[in-house]
Chains A and B, each alone.
Chain A
Amino acid sequence: MTQANPPGWRLDLRGREVVVSLTGDWIARETGLRNIAEVRQALESLDAVRLGFDASGLGRWDSALVVFLQSLRAEVARQVPPLGLDESALPEAARRLLALAGLAGGSESAETVPPPPSLATRVGRSAFNWWGGGVAVAALVGETVLRSVAAFGGRARTRAVDVMQLMREAGAGAVGIIAVVNGLVGAILAFVGAVQLRRFGAGIYVADLVGIAMVREMAAVMTAIVMAGRTGGAYAAHLATMQGNEEIDALQALGIPVHDFLVLPRVAALVAMMPLLYLYACAVGLFGGFVVSGATLDLTPAAFWGQIQTAIAGRQFAIGLVKSVAFGALVALVGCHVGLKAGRSAAAVGHAATTAVVAGIVGIIALDALFAVCADALGI
């Protein structure tokens, strides 16, 4: 492709007609768009009644020229008194495009109101806002990682706005169900522990049992399973739908890397959300255990929380956090992989969702077992 000459324009007053002389190449991709503001100023200083064109110096052109001419048209119409406009000297093709763009065609009115969100989603969203600070930090970390990946690979096509949107979807909607699941798991652990430990007069150790089990294992695993069911399945279904709708083809035909554009934001969103959801799950689970042990044993709140503090070391949280990150990445990768491999029929979407959920859950349990073996080997 030949080097583009910069696009230019000049206004000459010939009698009472302003002639806009267009020169150079007007190629949006190569030379950008020209601002109309200077033309407006120049027009105001001239005392003309008509506006004409001279396109003899015009090189290659595309939409960049049409956008310029379109705003020039609007400018001419705004002048008082309005200028006469003589476009006959413009290239025939440009006049056709201007005519086509000028048609106020097919204008069905735009605004439609989205349906109100469900109660659970609203609760989740308000909780999400409450976390605003934490999320902003997570988003920053996420973006930093993305930027550095981008800098490293030369050009990443991941958009931060996608990641934020996906984080909102993955986090806000899951808050309610994660509370229910982990609260109940904490309660069940406390109940089982209380029944057994009471026989030995060791009821206070229920706090240790609930604390270690939740923080080290259950909060991360249960949260990940919920995310596999909700978000992993949704990712698979979404990407499978995109596959059937040729949306993935449309990305590939443009040369937009599917991995950067679809997979990376989803992995980033879940990796950023999972630790937050994990900490929240820990809190709710411990609270569930506290309520049940208070009801079944005569433990005072101070005794329970005091015992918990001695039982759980920071190390336990570290293990849980690492797991939650790994599970988040696993769930997102499995969901995306299954979705991208799906067939193009409607049935394939349902099948992809089921496969992703099952594979996600099995993967989480297997990965957790692997963590247990490694932690044992490392003695932590």
Chain B
Amino acid sequence: MAGGAGPPPPLLDAKGLTLAFGPRVIQRDLTFSVRRGSVFAVMGGSGCGKSTVLRAMIGLLRPAAGTVAVDGEDYWGASSSRRAEIGRRFGVLFQNGALWSSMSVAENVALPLQIFTDLGAGDIDALVRLKLSLVGMEAAGKRMPSELSGGMRKRAGLARALALDPDILFFDEPSAGLDPVTSKRLDDLILELRDGLGATIVIVSHELPSLFATCDDGLFLDAETRTAIAHGSPRALRDGCGHPIVRSFMERTRHDHPGQGGSP
């Protein structure tokens, strides 16, 4: 958690990753690595397979070929119980929060702690209150997910993702479906948390949220060729990538978010 010096080895290392549903290949031959403490962006238009790549990293979809290594350990080669153990270092914020609808917000955050720790009820309560207060939701702990707005649902999902103090946070489209103000607030919150928690972050998005300004590295997926067509931070891609698809993606998003297109 406390930052260390020296060149850190990659926390996530994907090699030759090919993802498919049955015979239908979604993305092939992806190779990338995520450095410890960095913010990594998976970019590309809607439907190009970003969420699918994410699912391969969090244990929901076995790759058709290739490997993912977490801290040097082969993630998909491990037994399923070992994989679940590694997965407990991950916190995932799904696209719509994916809160468990039959439980209150506080119960959602408490469940991972109840299941995977030996902590008593009082300690779990204290941790749940902390996580909810980190995302500004301490007043809404008793509410059911159906009573929350989209932005609150994402913040609650974020609190749940933080429940086990993860080393890696995955975000699927954090700003999709939110109004610009709420979306900006969520982005700021994520950055605050990154600085506070020292976690590594992987963000999947089809738009260019303000968050991208701080991404250290990234991957640009293309639906047409079904593979990555560019590597590098969004900033570098915006300024220096000659690929027409990448260029038009960056131009479009700059157009959509005039405030964030940024300095030359």
Which residues of B151-168 have CB atoms within 8 Å of chain A's CB atoms?
Answer: 152, 155, 160, 162, 164-165
Q: Which residues of B contact A (CB under 8 A)?
A: 1-3, 55, 58-60, 83-85, 87-88, 90, 92, 94-96, 98-102, 111-112, 115-120, 123, 126-127, 130-131, 133-143, 147, 152, 155, 160, 162, 164-165, 189, 192-193, 195-198
Of A61, A100, A108, A250, which contacts B139 at CB under 8 A? A108
Q: Is the CB of A255 within 8 A of B100?
A: no
Most chain B beta-carbon contacts within 10 A, residue among A238, A255, A256: A255
Number of A-B contacts (CB under 8 A): 140
Q: List, sorted by A's number, 14 A–B pairs whose CB atoms are closer than 8 Å.
A: A28-B127, A62-B1, A67-B130, A93-B198, A100-B196, A105-B135, A110-B140, A110-B141, A112-B147, A242-B101, A245-B96, A246-B95, A253-B87, A256-B111
Provide the residues of chain B in CB contact with A256, threshold 8 Å: 111-112, 115
Most chain A beta-carbon contacts within 10 A, residue among B95, B98, B99, B101: B98
Q: Is the CB of B119 within 8 A of A245?
A: no
Provide the residues of chain A in CB contact with B100, threshold 8 Å: 242, 247, 250-251
Q: Is the CB of A107 within 8 A of B127?
A: no
CB nearest neighbor in A for B95: A246
A94 to B96, CA, bound (A): 29
A109 to B137, CA, bound (A): 10
Provide the residues of chain B in CB contact with A23, threshold 8 Å: none
* CB proximity of A98 to chain B, nearest CB, Å: 9
Q: Is the CB of A255 within 8 A of B98?
A: no
Known contacts: A112-B143, A254-B112. The answer to whether A97 contacts B136 by CB under 8 A is: no
Provide the residues of chain A in CB contact with B130, threshold 8 Å: 63, 66-67, 70, 101
* CB proximity of B4 to chain A, nearest CB, Å: 11
Q: Is the CB of B155 within 8 A of A93?
A: no
Interface size for chain A: under 10, 10 to 19, 20 to 34, or 35 or more residues?
35 or more
Most chain B beta-carbon contacts within 10 A, residue among A64, A97, A249: A249
Provide the residues of chain B in CB contact with A106, threshold 8 Å: 136-137, 152, 155
Q: Mark A232-272, 1 if CB is under 8 A from B, else 0.
A: 00000010011001110111111110000000000000000
Q: Is the CB of B94 within 8 A of A63?
A: no
A274 to B60, CA, bound (A): 35
Of A109, A242, A245, A255, which contacts B87 at CB under 8 A? A255
A111 to B139, CA, bound (A): 9
Known contacts: A110-B141, A253-B59. The answer to whether A247 contacts B99 by CB under 8 A is: yes
* CB proximity of A56 to chain B, nearest CB, Å: 12
Q: Is the CB of A63 within 8 A of B165?
A: yes
* CB proximity of A72 to chain B, nearest CB, Å: 13
Provide the residues of chain B in CB contact with A255, threshold 8 Å: 59, 83-85, 87-88, 116
Q: Is the CB of B196 within 8 A of A97?
A: yes
Q: Is the CB of A249 within 8 A of B131?
A: no
Which A-B residue pairs are the 6 nearest by beta carbons? A105-B136, A255-B84, A246-B98, A97-B196, A106-B136, A62-B165
Q: Is the CB of A249 within 8 A of B195?
A: no
Q: Is the CB of A245 within 8 A of B98?
A: yes
Provide the residues of chain A in CB contact with B92, threshold 8 Å: 250, 253
Q: Is the CB of B59 within 8 A of A252?
A: yes
Of A111, A251, A253, which contacts B142 at CB under 8 A? A111
CB nearest neighbor in A for B189: A100
* CB proximity of A339 to chain B, nearest CB, Å: 13
* CB proximity of B27 to chain A, nearest CB, Å: 19
Provide the residues of chain B in CB contact with A199, threshold 8 Å: none
Of B83, B116, B118, B131, which contacts A63 at CB under 8 A? B131
A295 within 8 A of B: no
Provide the residues of chain A in CB contact with B90, threshold 8 Å: 253
* CB proximity of A338 to chain B, nearest CB, Å: 18
Q: Is the CB of B2 within 8 A of A91?
A: yes
Q: Is the CB of B98 within 8 A of A97?
A: no
Provide the residues of chain A in CB contact with B102, threshold 8 Å: 165, 238
A241 to B145, CA, bound (A): 14
Provide the residues of chain A in CB contact with B1, threshold 8 Å: 60-62, 93
